């Protein structure tokens, strides 16, 4: 029978936060942020793509590492992606900067949990 410490260690080994995939998604997000400033007409679609990436990342991390933050943030990223798509199609009025601010907070909380062991 595994101890709690062994289970935690196994969960951490499969954790994607802080790994190459996380940093690749972070770089893509920063590139998307720059592109959103330069290509204002496509801002909603860029947001949709970036939030879609983070949704998939969070789902994969929630299934693999069973991190509470990833379990909670996956649906939030999905809603942000859907809101961005709605704004891009003109069906709903959403201020895009609010969605990007939400995403930045989620990424910061994800990093805080990973490196400090708790949310800030």
pLDDT of the residue at 38 = 94
One pLDDT digit (tens) per residue for the chain, 120 residues: 444 454 444 445 577 877 888 889 989 989 998 998 899 899 889 989 999 999 999 899 889 888 777 888 888 889 889 988 998 898 988 777 777 787 777 777 767 766 776 654
Number of domains in the chain: 1
DSSP annotation string for the chain: ---HHHHHHHHHHT--TTSHHHHHHHHHHHHHHHHHHH-GGGHHHHHHHHHHHHHHHHHHHHHHH--HHHHHHHHHHHHHHHHHHHHHHTSS---HHHHHHHHHHHHHHHHHHHHHSS--
The residue range of the domain holding 56 is: 4-116
């Amino acid at each position: 029978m595994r101890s709690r410490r062994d289970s935690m260690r196994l969960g951490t080994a499969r954790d994607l936060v802080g790994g190459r995939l996380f940093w690749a998604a972070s770089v893509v997000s920063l590139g998307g942020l720059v592109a959103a400033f330069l290509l204002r007409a496509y801002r909603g679609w860029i947001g949709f793509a970036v939030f879609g990436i983070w949704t998939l990342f969070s789902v994969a991390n929630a299934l693999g590492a069973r991190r509470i933050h990833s379990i909670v943030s996956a649906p939030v990223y999905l809603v942000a992606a859907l809101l961005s798509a709605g704004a891009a199609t003109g069906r709903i009025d959403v201020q895009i900067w609010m969605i990007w601010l939400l995403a930045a907070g989620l990424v910061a909380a994800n990093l805080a949990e990973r490196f400090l062991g708790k949310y800030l």
